[in-house]
Structure 1
Amino acid sequence: MSTQGLILTLSCPDRRGIVAAVSAFLAERDCNILDAQQYDDPETGAFFMRVVFAPDGHAADALREQFEAVATVFAMRWSLRDPAVRKKVMILASLSDHCLADLLYRWRIGELDMDIAGVISNHPASTYRHVDLGDLPFHHLPVSKATKLEQEAEVWRLIRDTGADLVVLARYMQVLSDGLAAKLEGRCINIHHSFLPGFKGAKPYHQAHARGVKVIGASAHYVTSDLDEGPIIEQDVERISHRDTPEDLIRKGRDIERRVLARALRWALEDRVLLNGRKTVVFTD
């Protein structure tokens, strides 16, 4: 049983009585609410809620079974999770290793509370001589236009067989097929080295330099079949000047990418991110 409290997240059509029903359910079982956040979206008419509560000895499985009746009444999409059971994360990377190295560092110091299911790359392990992979399972899966479907089938097999809850594209410079993107809907996070929706696709820093922008940014978003169009989780920017070359933008952008991806992943690990159509609701700490 978690000492951190169980986490209940839900979304449903907005109507009266949702908060009261959730609060009553917990109160009737002597569960103590430790933190609660909610949001009514006036545009979509949807309601979102995240509640952390002390279960007072109740098992998560039993509470899930009992809460089903409440969820049915309000047509909720919901989950109830014990954070003591850590989520499994599969990390995909390519030639650039800064995001991979940063995630592994934050994992080792306990900032990212997760189990790493493995690292998949279309480059060999020797590419990451500056990264401490330790004993993590490493899978070199080279890919070409001719072998893309077979390579993705093996990527999916590893994700499925390891039971990975989340997939992180840590500067994985391969566009996922529509089929794989659909299988990973709502649980695959990508870091794009641009402040979306601007400068999508390849070489966004070069695109930004050509346009003479005054700030550059990075965006962490869920992957969909539409390239760089998925629901955005987190973004950040940094000011630049006319003196900066594309190489300067790439160097400065690495820092933005690292911190944006780390924040987005931490929020996903803590069940703070709820999908809202093409957008997200993020209950930040």
Structure 2
Amino acid sequence: MKCCRRSSSSFSKPCTATTFFVSYSSFLLALSSLLRPSAALVNLRAKSFSFTFLDAPARFAVPVRGSGVCGALHTADPIDACSTLPSNRTAVGRGGGSAHSDFILIVRGVCSFENKVRIAQDAGYQAAIIYDDQEKGSLYSMIGDSTGIYIHAVFVSKMAVLAAFLFARNCRLLRHGAHKRPPSMNRQAVELLPSFTFKSSYVNSKRMAETCAICLEDYRDGERLRVLPCLHDFHAVCVDSWLTKWGTFCPICKHEMSSGE
């Protein structure tokens, strides 16, 4: 993934944005830091869709400011970044005036946020993007000692990362699959899947979610939900669009609708 941070004009107040461009499609992910240090937005968009969800900048890291910097997004190995990471040779030794940066994706847990960021910094990365290991967890403004920290760091939800990679996957299929769209279901088949009208009392059910994993909005009384064979539920309008345009699998567990299981 190629990544860029640039100014954003999507808000009425001045703000800056970290924009991650997927090199094989028009898809991009933007982390927009607002004026308040504890509030920011992640914007996932392509030509025909846009989703926005919150992130939380680390209080001990360098804020996202200025006109921007371009770079590449890498996955940590180990993914929790609680032990030494391999040196990022493409980042180490660059001059301070370089327009290119390298960002690293890390899962929450095992060790502190501060420890993860320091290990990422020591490995040569210019930003740490830490995502939650819980599907319904709250976003925390990461706290730690800022002494010696000179890179950016933000905390995002698990669903934000899942959504980013699912859309990137399909954009890549569109680009490299001889310009063919990814496999999809016809609308008649989708309409045959069970649906129901949501009531808040259903949340106590063992398998009932509170939030649609596609649009990341909480369910409201009276909304129509659809249930897939894997028993994951979504807003009907969201999952219908997903199955007819982007793929034949569940956005959460990747169960194939065409498998017949």
Q: TM-score, normalised by structure 1?
A: 0.26
Larger radius of gyration: 1
Q: Which has the higher helix share?
A: 1
